[in-house]
Chains A and B, each alone.
Chain A
Amino acid sequence: MSLLPWTLYLSAAGALLALAGGMRSARTARWIALVTAAGAWVLTLLAATRFVPGPRLQTLVDAPWIPAMGVRYHLAADGISLTLLVLTGLAATAGVLFSWNIEERTGEFFALFLTLVAGVYGVFLSADALVLFVFYEVAIVPKYFLIAGWGSTNREYGAMKLALYSFAGSSMVLAGLLWAYAAGGGHGFGFEDLAQATAALSRHQQIAIFALVFFGFATLAGIFPLHTWAPTGHVAAPTAASMLLAGVVMKLGAYGCLRVALPLSPVGFAYWQAPIAWLAVIGIVYAGLVALMQEDLKFVIGYSSVSHMGFVLLGIAVANAQAVSGAVLQMFSHGVIAGLLFAVVGRMVYDRTHTRKLADLRAMPLHRLLPFAAAVFVVAGVASMGLPGFSGFPAELTILIGAWKRAPAWAAVAALGVLVAAAFTLRAIQLSFFGSVEQPQPPGSDRPADHALHFAPITVAEKAGALLLVAATVLIGLNPDLLLNWINPALQSPLLQAALKAGTP
């Protein structure tokens, strides 16, 4: 367990090294990034082997940081954070593998990438709300530069929109946290301190504080109708950044909702529970419908992310043991599956075809030209539809079971989203890879269409990254207990139990 803070330090050091290495050659920077990202991932896995699941955050580091304000550099982890730390390591490693072809300012790219990863590790490890907030901000800045510097389609717009939404969200969070801090007489930003301080406030104030913090974080989790940054940001981002953005950064928001907002004010949560749940289920169906109409393949994936994050938010809003454990499982699942989808679309397809328009892709026999990419996309699509055998199935099932217990209508509307997901995913698969109506020709004859179009074969790095992610989603799909055994005990923590109790009538 004590290895976990080193994920953060290692990634930060890797960022500096990659910057320095990039001055020598792009190759050096790549390898530094890969070794760092994979190293940090291995650290999380090693820590996981020695992890003893329990209800409390297990403190890793605790030292005074700003003594005058009572801020402590307090890092800790429980089963929920461990799940997300492992996901971060996996997504970062796969992200480096899918960025192997970055030739332009490679050192800077990986430096920013690893800074972002370090910020994410920091958020998941923080046990002090202000430290968490600082890492949260650390994660936002490199995101902006990654998109603006290495992105595509309308990148300045996408980057700026994303940054503005993020900062708007985080300023709400900061305002809420400062309010709670001030109410508590400035003792500190520990989760329990803040919860105690808030509990002393009037009901109306608690409702307001909760709204500030929850919706601030939920903006980054893509809650409807504050989700519009997500598709444009995902589309504009370079592949690795979209993988991290959809895979991990959106989880920061959801994690903030679960870790900070819910325990902060159970009273406020009880007030907002139903509106949040309705926004979540509307988001699931709504984003799915929007995805159904998109002409750009990456936008389809972008909106599907919003739809799937709706399940996470629903699970958090329902706030019973099943739904919350399902929400954390869904965070992991979506992190892996969205990463895979963005990798196929951004790296395997777009970097070769230079188009993501479904109408253009449709004219190419991509299943023949890029069979590996086609197979991976079908697998990822099937996983994304929530079919059994992949991680999405136990996650969404658990959330539905939990939601039904609380309010059957939420579960019914959310289940409708599963149907819409099947529709837009099949449409995307058929139009992108299997749209060409070219007749198969008898063997031995020339294939002019295939000769006219030739794409570089899928590289080893891409194959390795794709197989990693596929293996992860299948492994968790078959044996969700691997994660649930960490997650479920963590739900017994007094802070979460208070929130769960408030959410159960």
Chain B
Amino acid sequence: MEPRVAYLWLIPALPLLAAGVGCVAPRNGRRLAAGAAIAAMLGALVLSCFALHLALADPSAHLVYNFRWFDLGNGAVRLGLLLDPLNGLMCVMVSLVGLLIFIFSLGYMDADENFTRFFCFLSLFAAAMLCVVVANSLLLLFIGWELVGLASYLLIGFWFHRPAAAAAAKKAFITTRIGDLGFLLGLVWLYDTTGSLLLYDGGNGVLESHVLGDLATQVLAGGLAASTAIGLLIFCGAVGKSGQFPLHVWLPDAMEGPTPVSALIHAATMVAAGVFLMARIFPLAAADQGLAAAPVHVLTVVAGIGAVTALMGAAIAVAQHDLKRILAFSTVSQLGYMMLALGVGSWVAAIFHLLTHAFFKALLFLGAGSVIHAAHHEQDIRNLGGLRSPMRATYATFSVGMMALTGVPFVFSGFWSKEAILHAASEWNVSHLPLYAGLAGVVLTAFYMTRLLCEVFWGAPRSPAAAHAHESPAVMTVPLVVLAVGAVALGFLGTPAWPWLQSQLTGEAVPAHSLLEGGGLMALSIVLVATGLGAGWALYGRRLRATAGADDPLAAAAPRLFAFLGARMKLDELYAATVGRLNTFAAALAVILDRWVWGGAVGFLARFGEFTGSVNRGVDEGGLNAGFDSISERIRGAGRAYSRAQTGETHGYLRALAVAFVVLALLALLGGGQ
């Protein structure tokens, strides 16, 4: 038991505190909010380095600190903190890339009137992400996960006055939440079966062998093991968050957020959370591997989804015109590679690629941000061009990122991590389809990145905005340089010749291999990279785009395919026509039910009440009352007759009196006469 693990909570707590400061800071407290955010990230980085140091002292150990959260009837919900090389590395990566992006934002968001709020949200995001990373409990991980989603919503919709940004924020939140629904149910199921959500708990954690054994041997209907079902449900969450097919649609739209957000959240960290999650629960996902009779294995599904995503993302990226969207689909594709690696059983290769990708993709996005900042928010690559000479630092660093992403051999980190993935895929004994998808993706990646680089930086400026562009301030270029160094150097941590990263992550010594071993595959992928680069250069570099309105050479060659890819394979439209319409229909049906059936039932009861009331009234008045009424009517009639006599008029009385007198007199006379 390492007592220092208990202090891991400080790593997410520092940015959370900074978010609190940013939240209460007045709108013009820019220095306060940004200062707090950057200081907190620096603190988190220092602590993360200590944590990593501690974790590397014994790479095979899982240091944990578990505690009770709340009482749950006949048990307690427990949370915990975990430290091992995997999350030690993740902590350092997230806080380092985060810190660089925070610094870059000082420059990028300088003119924004909501600067304070921006840093508040960024800090909230960093806190949530670090919470995901340090969790030793799937529940704590889920808590961070949801808060990451919230921060992402707030940041994508940061410029909510743009309808597109508001819509994108909502789409991102809802789409990822569809995946989270599966994740949540997976957690509930897991808790119900094992009574715990702790990953490591002295032998009782859900990733520890005897619990896993129970899960894998519990067979449900259809021969499915409990661990398969739970693993697939949790994987749903990863599909949503990591932009995997078919829930990838939110990620390109998320580019509506400010560019540092795209770099931090939608390239380097949050979208990697799904990959991290699957690497974290890898023993659970792999628990069903031994069951030959199982109809489906978790990892097979993961590999399939990853392969489809890797290829699809790269293909769509070829036909986009928006600078950030190309990078977004490239992210989708690279995340697919990571999932593919996980699926074929090499979570270490996935994490290796996650780390290198975090650096070079953050670099590319921040480079794009630098371009967009310089070109007054022009991000259509057809309208850019010629930025090579005015923006030398951006161009140089962006090129490093581009070469790292395409996997230019030996020097760049992306080469080594992608090589590790392809190598793992080639050794997978289930199918070689993922390998082929991965190799095809390599060509496409090299192709679309060459296109991007040529269109943006080469040739002559094609719009006034591009013509007036100038290099960004040092506060923005220095983070680019640091990231570029990372994008190169990080690769050497995991080469086959010196597999330091692999040994540390697995906690076992991984033997070093000569580069020549498996050299055939490496040579093939080098050839493929060269093919992609050459094709890109042939189409876009040799003859540079002359005007913004000129046709894309590829569009001219294959207009229908280009349009199909440009429209993102029409998947958004497909969802709108199916899921979207179903939802609208269900909601409309519910409203109709509420208004006409339930409301109508009440209305009917009310009418029925009124009706019975009027019937009663009729019976009452016409029937029961009639006899009584007629009697009383006669009495009243008689009374009326009598009352007519009493007219109250004196002369009437006198007249009557006179008449009576005359009558009486006549009677007397007549009677007297007898």
Contacts and interface: CB of A to CB of B under 8 A. Distances in A.
A binds B: yes
Contacts of B72: 321-322, 325, 398, 401, 484
B590 A293 contact: yes
B592 to A, nearest CB: 10
B166 A434 contact: yes
A401 B170 contact: no
B192 A401 contact: yes
B53 interface: no
Interface string A415-450: 110110011001100100010111110010000000
A479 B70 contact: yes
A389 B181 CA distance: 18
Nearest to A433: B160
Interface string A39-68: 000000000000000000000000000000
B174 A400 contact: no
Nearest to A480: B70
Interface stretch (B257-265, B525-533, B594-602, B621-629): B594-602
A256 interface: no
A480 B79 CA distance: 14
B187 to A, nearest CB: 9
B598 A440 contact: no
Interface stretch (A208-216, A353-361, A405-413): A405-413
Given A401-B192, A484-B71, A488-B71, A419 B594 contact: no
Interface stretch (A69-77, A136-144, A284-292): A284-292
Most buried by B among A225, A401, A423, A438: A401
B185 A412 contact: yes
B184 A388 contact: no
A481 B160 contact: no
Contacts of A350: none
Contact of A387 (B139, B146, B587, B594): B146
Given A286-B590, A289-B586, A440 B177 contact: no
A49 B63 CA distance: 38
A91 interface: no
Contacts of B77: 394
A415 B185 contact: yes
A427 B170 contact: yes
A228 interface: yes
Interface in A379-409: 382, 387-389, 393-394, 397-398, 400-402, 404-405, 408
A387 B124 CA distance: 14
A408 B591 CA distance: 27
Interface in B183-227: 184-185, 188-189, 191-192
A7 interface: no
Contact of A322 (B73, B150, B153, B174): B73
A195 interface: no
Interface residues of B, number: 47
B113 interface: yes
B173 interface: yes
Interface string B486-506: 000000000000000000000
A337 interface: no
Contacts of A267: none
> By DSSP majority rule, is chain B's interface helix, strand, loop, or mixed?
helix
A27 interface: no
B150 A418 contact: no
A106 interface: no
B73 A400 contact: no
A381 to B, nearest CB: 11
B612 to A, nearest CB: 15
B143 A430 contact: no
Most buried by B among A227, A293, A408, A418: A293
Nearest to B145: A388
A394 to B, nearest CB: 6
A320 interface: yes
B647 interface: no
B160 A434 contact: yes
Most buried by B among A325, A389, A408, A422: A422
A502 interface: no
B150 A290 contact: no
A281 to B, nearest CB: 14
Nearest to A484: B71
Nearest to A229: B602
Contacts of A161: 602
A491 interface: yes
Contact of B170 (A397, A430, A488): A430
A153 interface: no
Contacts of B588: 293
Contacts of B74: 321
A29 to B, nearest CB: 35
B161 A488 contact: no
B311 interface: no
Contacts of B586: 289
B364 interface: no
B166 A491 contact: no
Interface string A477-504: 0011100110010010000000000000
A325 B73 contact: yes
B181 A418 contact: yes
B444 interface: no
A404 B192 contact: yes
A434 B165 CA distance: 11
A228 B601 CA distance: 10
A479 B166 CA distance: 33
B189 A404 contact: yes
A361 to B, nearest CB: 14
B70 A419 contact: no
A440 B161 contact: yes
Nearest to A436: B161
A434 B127 CA distance: 26
When A and B form their complex, which 8 residue pairs have the shortest distance between CB atoms, in order from nearest?
A321-B73, A388-B143, A289-B590, A289-B587, A480-B70, A322-B73, A481-B70, A434-B160
12 contacts: A227-B598, A289-B590, A322-B72, A388-B142, A397-B139, A401-B192, A408-B189, A411-B185, A418-B181, A422-B174, A481-B70, A484-B72
Given A287-B590, A293-B590, 8 more contacts: A286-B590, A286-B593, A387-B147, A394-B70, A404-B192, A419-B174, A422-B173, A440-B161
Interface of B: 69-74, 77, 113, 139, 142-143, 146-147, 150, 153, 157, 160-163, 166, 170, 173-174, 177-178, 181, 184-185, 188-189, 191-192, 583, 586-591, 593-594, 597-599, 601-602
Interface of A: 161, 225, 227-228, 286-287, 289-290, 292-293, 320-322, 324-325, 367, 382, 387-389, 393-394, 397-398, 400-402, 404-405, 408, 411-412, 415-416, 418-419, 422-423, 426-427, 430, 434, 436-440, 443, 479-481, 484-485, 488, 491
